[in-house]
Amino acid sequence: MEEVIVSIRGAEKTYGKQIVLKDISLDIKRGEIFGLLGPSGAGKTTLVKLLVGLDTPTSGETYLFGQRMPCLKLAGRIGYMAQSDALYTELSSRENLEFFASLYGLKGGQRRRRIEEVAELVGLSSSMDKIVAQFSGGMKRRLSLAAALLHEPELLILDEPTVGIDPVLRQQIWSAFYQLQQQGTSLIVTTHVMDEAEKCSRLALLRDGSMIAAGTPEELKRETASNTMEEAFLYYGGARP
């Protein structure tokens, strides 16, 4: 049986009077690229923060690797990339990666090897000595991704990893995701782009804090007799993302 590594049970989140997540229940299995698809404000970031342990649900529970979140000791098994880049722009990309590698406790040859490997994976090997302030938005996103990969996490949680990235680079980043998946990494990716949703193993559609549907892209299209994910999303009552 496939191993469930993420389990969300009746999670609700409210900020003041606003209900931001409503009764979300979801299982994610090892080796999946799981997509969270929904328009701006649907609650994707909030859900991701609960999963990473950066926030707690108002009610309900989230479990990672069978442990109830938040759980500090799981941090080393997760790679998290937030929606906005947290990089030192006055430093080079190599210096940034060295800094994050030191936070993860990587040392000496292992640190150097991992920095080279992640730079290669995101296609930044030739820009390692460039100052990040001179990077394009896409390069910064890729450097953030590289930083999240340094400690070889089992689960990568990526909040809008390809926002502001042109289609060619987006392809490159998705190749990196597939490569990671083949190496046994599980991924959770938020997006509001339909063509990315098509690339996920399974996905959940979110709207106004509710999960309106979940399944493989094929299942969601078949159930709604749609040709495209966009049609399927509209069928389930999602606003056009």
Q: Which chain residues interact with ligand ATP by CB under 6 A? A: 15, 20, 38, 40-46, 83, 192
Nearer to ligand ATP, 50 or 124 (CB): 50
Nearer to ligand ATP, 121 or 197 (CB): 197
Nearer to ligand ATP, 26 or 118 (CB): 26
What is the side-by-side order of every strand in the sheet holding 33-37?
78-81, 155-158, 186-191, 33-37, 202-207, 210-215
Phi and psi at residue 208, to the nearest 5°: 50, 40
Nearer to ligand ATP, 32 or 159 (CB): 159
147 vs 39, 68, 119, 121, 152, CA distance in Å? 27, 26, 9, 11, 10
Q: How far is the CB of 48 from ligand ATP (least distance, A)?
A: 8
Half-sphere exposure in the Cβ direction for 111 (13 Å, CA): 15
Nearer to ligand ATP, 46 or 186 (CB): 46
Q: How far is the CB of 44 from ligand ATP (least distance, A)?
A: 4
Residues 6+ apart with CB under 8 A from 1: none
Q: How far is the CB of 177 from ligand ATP (least distance, A)?
A: 19
Contact by Cβ (8 Å): 199, 192: no
Nearest to 95 by CA among 131, 119, 125, 123: 131
Q: How far is the CB of 115 from ligand ATP (least distance, A)?
A: 30
> How many residues are there in the chain?
241
Q: How far is the CB of 152 from ligand ATP (least distance, A)?
A: 27
